[in-house]
């Protein structure tokens, strides 16, 4: 296992550290997501969006009071993003924004994008990419809502948008999505399966869009260290390496929640990963990781209540790095 330094040298393997990282973010990030989604499905389908919004206040208050690990991780992250200790109102808004985006997913998956005010920025970049006829790969983060993009795509000419996920997460989310809209499960591709890359290539060849969230690593992912909000963290290299291998147009994408029913979808091109020669792939991946981390850091400063990694992101990366010298 190679060591990781501040210049971004990859950390290969590191199963102990990555398994600890998986356990940390799974406690709230995926289990909480799955549980909260199921609760909000039940409430929303019976009460409608506006009454259910009041229930969100109680759910957010509950998590703030009775999820101490998530509460501490939220406060630590907000301190970095805000440059000061967060107020209670800001800590509440962080968890409430998470609940709100999950709640909105219920309606977005039921083709009710008409309920939302969705602003598109940089849409010319995704349109230019799709005009090439080779599809497009979107790289995002656990930031805001990816579902709002899929809803906007359905509004704009029935654009096919799939999301790549790790198998365990895909299984849990698929079960919940099936209760909302049975057709939605076909828009999720599980990573690590024998046919995963084939399904990705087929979706892209059909002129569709495939998205992957690149701010968490699991299992034995190779990682590289980069400074993020004032301290080093480990970042997975797999999504960027896959993007370079596919040789398709690549863009950064975020669906930013603005409160109420408002979202802003942003696109930025990541040209270094498109059509890169094999000999230049490693360097292109390193430079693209630099840009990805800087892009996400700016998003966290601009909309700090939108980053939904409720675990100690930096400690997990540090423990992995120390074990090498531990998504």
| Least confident segment among 165-169, 199-203, 246-250, 267-271 | 165-169
Tell me if residue 298 falls in helix, strand or coil: helix
Residue 147's alpha-carbon distances to 11, 176, 179, in angstroms, are 32, 14, 16
Confidence band for 5, pLDDT divided at 50, 70 and 90: very low
Integer Cα distance of 258 and 167 in angstroms: 30
DSSP H or E run through 241? helix 238-246
Q: pLDDT tens across 178-230, in order?
A: 767 776 656 788 887 888 899 999 999 999 999 999 998 766 779 999 999 99
Tokens of 130: 């799709």
pLDDT score of 169 = 61
pLDDT of residue 239: 93
What is the distance between the alpha carbons of residues 93 and 170, in angstroms, rounded to a whole number?
A: 27
The Cα–Cα gap between 49 and 36 comes to 15
Helix (H) or strand (E) holding 254: strand 250-259
pLDDT on residue 43:
77
Task: Determine the Cα–Cα distance for residues 307 and 97; give it in Å rounded to an integer.
Answer: 9
Any bridge partners for residue 223, and if so which?
Answer: 11, 236
Q: Which two tokens stand for residue 34?
A: 């799955």
Distance in angstroms (rounded) separating the CA atoms of residues 291 and 282: 15
Helix (H, G, I), strand (E, B) or coil at 264: strand
Question: What percent of the chain shows pLDDT beyond 70?
Answer: 77
Task: Please give the helix or strand (H or E) that residue 175 lies within, else none.
Answer: helix 167-180
| 194 neighbors 122 (Cβ within 8 angstroms) | no
| Confidence band, pLDDT 50/70/90 cuts, at residue 320 | very low
In the prediction, which pLDDT does 50 show? 85
Express each pLDDT in 128-167 by its tens digit: 999 999 999 999 999 999 989 888 877 666 678 888 887 6
Q: How far apart are CA 142 and CA 25, in angstroms?
A: 11
pLDDT digits (tens, 9 = 90+) for 299-309: 999 999 999 99
Task: For residue 100, name the pLDDT band (cuts at 50, 70, 90).
Answer: very high
Average pLDDT (63-89) is 94
Positions of E strands within 96-230: 117-121, 136-140, 161-165, 188-190, 209-213, 223-228
Residue 164: alpha-carbon gap to chain centroid = 10
Predicted pLDDT of residue 89:
96
pTM: 0.84
Compute the distance between CA of residue 201 and CA of residue 195 in angstroms, rounded to an integer: 10
Average pLDDT, the chain: 81
Which of the pair, 46 or 226, is modelled with greater confidence?
A: 226
pLDDT at 15 (0 to 100): 38
Average the pLDDT over each of 102-111, 153-162, 236-245 and give the range with the smallest value.
153-162
Q: Given a cut of 70, is residue 1 above it in pLDDT?
A: no
């Amino acid at each position: 296992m190679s060591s990781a330094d501040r210049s971004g040298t990859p950390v290969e393997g590191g199963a102990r550290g990555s398994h600890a990282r998986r356990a940390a973010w799974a406690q709230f990030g995926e289990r909480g997501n799955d549980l909260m989604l199921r609760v909000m499905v039940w409430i929303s389908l019976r009460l409608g969006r506006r009454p259910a919004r009041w229930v969100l206040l109680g759910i957010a208050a509950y998590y703030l009071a009775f999820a101490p690990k998530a509460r501490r991780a939220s406060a630590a992250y907000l301190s970095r993003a805000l440059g000061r200790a967060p107020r209670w109102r800001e800590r509440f808004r962080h968890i409430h924004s998470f609940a709100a985006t999950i709640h909105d997913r219920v309606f977005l998956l039921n083709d009710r994008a008409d309920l939302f005010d969705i602003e598109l920025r940089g849409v010319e970049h995704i349109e230019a990419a799709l005009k090439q006829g080779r599809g497009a790969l979107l790289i995002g983060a656990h930031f805001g809502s990816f579902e709002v993009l899929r809803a906007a795509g359905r509004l704009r000419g029935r654009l096919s948008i799939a999301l790549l996920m790790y198998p365990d997460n895909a299984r849990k989310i698929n079960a919940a999505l099936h209760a909302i809209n049975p057709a939605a499960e076909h828009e999720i591709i599980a990573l690590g399966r024998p046919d995963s890359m084939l399904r990705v290539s087929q979706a892209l060849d059909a002129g569709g869009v495939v998205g992957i969230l690149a701010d968490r690593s699991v299992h034995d992912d190779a990682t590289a260290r980069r400074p993020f909000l004032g301290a080093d963290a480990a970042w997975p290299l797999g999504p960027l390496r896959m993007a370079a291998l596919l040789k398709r147009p690549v863009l950064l994408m975020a669906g930013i929640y603005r409160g109420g029913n408002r979202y802003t979808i942003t696109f930025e091109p990541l040209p270094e990963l498109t059509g890169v020669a094999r000999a230049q792939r490693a360097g292109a991946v390193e430079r693209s990781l630099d840009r990805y981390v800087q892009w996400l850091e700016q998003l966290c400063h601009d909309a700090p209540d939108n980053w939904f990694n409720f675990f100690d992101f930096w400690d997990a990366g540090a423990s992995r790095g120390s074990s090498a010298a531990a998504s």
